[in-house]
Structure 1
Amino acid sequence: MRKVFSVSGSAWSLSSWWGVPSPWPDVAPMFTGGVPAEEIHDADTNDLVGSFVSLQRGQSFLAWQKYQTAAELHARIVGTTPDPHALFLKDSFADCAARIAMALSISQQAAEKVINQALALRDRLPQIAERLRDGRISAELVATVISRTDLVEGHEYAVAVDAEIAAALDLHDGAWSRERVQDMVDRIVFRHDPDGVREHRKRALDARGVWVHDGKDGTSKFTATMAAENARIAMAAVKALAATACEFDGRTKLQRASDAAFALMTGTAFECQCSHPECSAQIPEPAAMPQVDSKVIIHVIADESTVAGTADNAGFLAGHGVISDDHVRDLVARPDAVVLPLVPPGTQPNPDGTITLPAHLPSDPYRPSSALDLFVRIRDGYSVIPGSSVSSFDADLDHVVEYDHRHPMRGGQTAPDNLNAKDRFGHLLKTFGDWVDDQYRDYTGRLRIEFTTPEGLIIPGDPEHLDVLFPGLRRIRFAAPAQAPPRTAESAPIPPTRSQSRVSAKHARRQQERERNRKRRIKEADD
């Protein structure tokens, strides 16, 4: 049996494991961890990965110290009394930031940003500052929280926003991705001040435009700011045109996309650069370029009442994040919009208010029904692979516990808690590697995911699903369709060659791994 480790909570304390001084003597050892250079070759693989986790906690603590120091410097130099030179270019705030800028050899603007972030944590987000200190959020993600809560400054609900974000961070022991943090903060802010979010979007749209930034070696960067849905449509059109080049084209995907973008914007021809006399590329003529847009699909998720205008709940734009109710209705009003309900019209609810839909195709218990397929993609929002920003609508649906095609009743069933969305690489990593994932409901009823590396290291998965944003999803149930055909009689026995196939053996090992993980969770909960 392999050793099982966990990167969650405060399980890692490698400084005490190795018996060496902290790499940062001024920081409490509990926040840091490192593998000594002389012992790194003998270190366990899990120790090395755990060291990364511990080091990030140390970096969070250092960031907290930086902000504490900046806030104290501001208090001493700027103070709380009005600055008589506040209208001058060199006021006391600029004078304070200049000290940091010169000490660190950074720009004045960068130094002022540090001070502003420090003040936001001190005055608006004190509980988030504590989570930064304790390593529950990284320094990079704290900057995201600060910027996304800028609208609550000075409002009476600012304290509640700070507390709710901190509570959400406390519910997850693992790392957060930028997308999940952004969505979590946006939904909390929107519920307290939807008008502020709408005004923020209006200001952002008013600032749209295009720019060219000169680069190095004869290149420049072309930047365009536009509505999120338009950006996704434009990017999809670029990718669609770039994909028309044949397989022998020597350019990378990004190079082809750059050339395709120029062709679309200028109405010039996009050409395959394979140089093969029998090139198979089917590239449309420049005059036909607008037709590419007709194949672009963007997914917007919202509840019926918001679409109808009887409620002001937030929506979700796949690949972008949380959007306001006005933004939802703007998208629904587009002439090319198609509105498809998750629950078919006329579906009768159960006596307890829940709704039951078919889980899989009547003819194939392995294939999820269209309703279950859509439900899982809506619920997950993104690929469940930690750190992945791929939209669930661009990902693969995967059975967490593998489906047994020879004996369907033995294998993982086609059910919502046994399905999740994985980006292609993550899906391949599990299918052809020794990675194990597990998906279960915790004691609060939240859906949790864990990933186990080939060495037995347990990594927590996504902290939230979109059922937090769309609680109506919790009323939907799935069951095998009533008209599903009965199981047919077993065919003639096959002469035995192995006790079980290699695939079956791998599936059995994975199931044993999940059982060990479940027993560990139960023991931790009892303790």
Structure 2
Amino acid sequence: MYVRCMSQAGATYDTSGVVASLAADDKNSAAELVEVLAHCRSITASADYRMLCAASLIFDERCEDYLIEVAERDSGERVSVDELMAAGMEHFAGRDPRAEFGPDGMERATAEVGAVLNVPAAKAREIITAGDTARYRLVFTGQALAVGRIDLAGFLLICTRTKLVVDPELVKILDTHIAQALFDRPPLSRARLGAMVDAIVAMVDPDALLRRKERAAADRDVTIRPDRFQPGASRVSASLPITDAAAIDARLTAMAASVHSGDPRTRAQRRADALTALAAGVDHLTCGCATCTGPTDTEIDVDVDAPVDPAPAVEQPAPQPIAPPVTAAQPFFHIVVNLSTVLGLDDQPGYLDGRGIIDADTMRALLADAEREFLRRDDPARAATSASTYVPSKKLQALVRAGELCCTFPGCSAPAWSVDLDHTDPFDHRDPHTGGETVRENLKPLCRFHHRVKTFDKRWRDYQSPLGEAFFQSPTGHMFLGNAYTALDIFPALGPPAKPQNHPARTTLATRRTQKRAAHLRAVERADDANPPPF
């Protein structure tokens, strides 16, 4: 079958090859279709890179057109001092002297790109800006998009998180570090990619974190508008500083968890009701279980025509079940930080669970009145004691979660402190010493969804290396590394201890290098003795 179509822009394209590929996919196995998915992801990323560059080139051309039109009508020359002063006053007043010439190059390109891609003006501007970034600002990182190492959403995330680095020399260094990190690792989830980019920004330009903090405070806003996709509902969105958002999120979660287990509402519904309660000035959520909402008094029917007994027997009402008191909502969130930063010895950034990297000053302010837990690498005695129990100790749980950023399944970004801890080798309840022990090397965070998939679908297999790398083998036999970037890259002190400098392997190699160098110097000395000047 041959199909020839015309796009909205007037270009024609042949769909016969696509139709043939779709027909062939019906006969492919699951393993072959996985390769098709990977190929499509790579091709899509390359096409997105070309789309960004094309949008940026359109912007360049429209800017040139605009400048030519302006030059034809206004050369910029002023014949008198009064005209020059008037132009300066217009500038200081914030009025654009070129407004009379109509839309500028960006506005023209935005309209054109938006029409072709059928996207709003804001999205079109984002694409144009990202194209400029890929061509001139983050060139090496843009190449990672071009060859499919990251997707368009990942590149836009990098553009957003690096835009406050303004020094051109620092931008070049930043671009190099990000590109190297991307090419050294398999694709990362959004949470891991964001943390990695933020950590590199903090290393290259620490002041950028402070500028981001100021920008977030200045841009805070809350909008409430009708939901376009669900009639009768409204959508609430807010742009808040990271710590304020974490505090609100923790408060809603705590209020949603404070009711009894018999409450008929889902967790999402309880969080929505908690937000409404906070707006009404109430700091707690009313429980909706049958015990809390049932009648409190027993009704007794009385016959008014019956003779009155001088000493009637009073029937006591049946006792009503008393619901236990609703626990108070205690909001909390988790922060991982080096002790040296808390003590003020350095300004290394910290990690706010589910949110990302935060600067040292903000972190120390949050930790001023917080409950602190000091973690060290595994204590052998404590590890031996907890290895035979199914539930990890609180210290071990904290150590495992602090060493990760999110769920270790490929592509998942569920926060590490709100997911399950999974035994890579299943725990043997009958004989714990023969099965998977409860030790750090055998535990990893997994969200409930991926934990259930891994547990009940036996075709999924997972492996954990001594360095904590979590590998997952799919039913088709494809292998994925789920945690290519972890909190250990940000906080090396939480990882396994480095080999000592006097390790036998290092000593052996150092000795060999010393011997080879000495032999080379002796050979040079013998050659000089055999050929004295003038040679």
Q: TM-score, normalised by structure 2?
A: 0.71
Q: State the secondary structure of the residue aligned to 2:250.
A: helix
Q: Per the alignment, do residues 247 and 41 of structure 1 end up closer, same or farther by CA in structure 2, a change over 3 Å counting?
A: farther
1:431 aligned to 452, 455, 465, which one?
455
Contact 2:411 2:482 in 1 (8 A): no
Structure 1 residue 44 corresponds to structure 2 residue 29: yes
Task: Report deviation, 1:361.
Answer: 5.6
Query: Which secondary structure state, in structure 1, belongs to the residue aligned with residue 388 of structure 2?
Result: strand
Note if 1:302 corresponds to 2:326. Answer: no
- The 5 A counterparts of 1:475-514 are 476=497
Pair 1:360-2:374 in alignment: no
User: 2: distance between equivalents of 1:157 and 1:364?
Assistant: 47
Classify 1:379/1:363 alpha carbon distance in 2 versus 1 (closer, same or farther; 3 Å). closer
Indicate conservation of the 8 Å contact 2:222/2:239, yes or no.
Answer: yes
Compared with structure 1, are the counterparts of its residues 96 and 425 closer, same or farther at alpha carbon in structure 2 (3 Å cutoff)? Answer: closer
Shift of 1:453: 2.1
Q: Which residue of 2 aligns with 1:496?
A: none
- Return the alpha-carbon distance in structure 1 between the equivalents of residues 379 and 267 of structure 2: 43
Q: Map 1:32-181 to 2 at 5 A.
A: 36-78=21-63, 88-89=98-99, 90-173=103-186, 175-181=187-193
Question: Are 2:359 and 1:338 aligned?
Answer: no
How far the C-alpha of 1:35 sits from its partner, in A, is: 8.7
Compute the displacement of 1:206 (Å).
3.3
Aligned residue type for 1:365: S
Which of these residues, 308, 312, 319, is aligned with residue 354 of structure 2? 319
Instruction: State the distance in 2 between where 1:143 and 1:33 align.
Output: 28
Q: Is the 8 A contact 1:246 1:280 kept in 2?
A: no
Is there any run of 5+ residues in structure 1 with no aligned partner, and where?
1-24, 344-353, 478-527
CA contact (8 A) 1:271 1:283 kept: no
CA 1:160–1:296: 2 relative to 1, 3 Å:
same
Which among 472, 475, 486 is matched to residue 454 of structure 1?
A: 475
* Whole-Å separation in 1 of the counterparts to 2:451 and 2:125: 44
Q: Which residue of 2 aligns with 1:492?
A: none
1:264 equivalent to 2:278? Answer: yes
Question: Residues 364, 161 of structure 1: CA spacing in aligned structure 2 closer, same or farther, 3 A cutoff?
Answer: closer
Distance 1:280 1:437 in 2: 48
Displacement of 1:202 in angstroms is: 2.0
The answer to whether the 8 Å contact 1:401/1:411 transfers is: yes
Distance 1:156 1:80 in 2: 31
Q: Is the 8 A contact 1:128 1:166 kept in 2?
A: yes
Query: What RMSD in Å do the two structures reach over aligned CA positions?
Result: 3.4
User: Take 2:12 and 2:410, find their aligned partners in 1: how far apart are those partners?
Assistant: 32
Q: Which secondary structure state, in structure 2, belongs to the residue aligned with residue 398 of structure 1?
A: strand
1:184 aligns with 2:192: no
User: Is 2:424 aligned against 1:394?
Assistant: no
Quickly say closer, same or farther: Cα 1:74–1:432, change in 2 above 3 A.
same
CA contact (8 A) 2:110 2:121 kept: yes
Comparing 260-269 with 239-248, greater Cα deviation is found at 239-248
- One-letter amino acid of the counterpart of residue 342, structure 1: L
* Structure 1 Cα separation of the partners of residues 404 and 20 of structure 2: 36
Larger Rg, first or second structure (1 or 2): 2
Q: Which letter maps to 1:320?
A: R
What are the Cα deviations for residues 426-472 of structure 1, in whole angstroms up to 9, with x where unaligned? 2222222212111225xxxx643221123433233122111111112
How many pairs are equivalent? 426
| Shift of residue 37, structure 1, vs aligned partner | 3.4
Specify the SS of the correspondent of 1:156. Answer: helix
Structure 1 counterpart of 2:506: none
Unaligned runs of at least 5 residues, structure 2? 1-10, 72-95, 296-319, 499-535
Give the aligned residue type for 1:170.
F
User: C-alpha deviations, 1:169-206, integer Å up to 9, x for none?
Assistant: 11223x32111111110000011111121121122123
The percent of aligned pairs where both chains have the same amino acid is 27
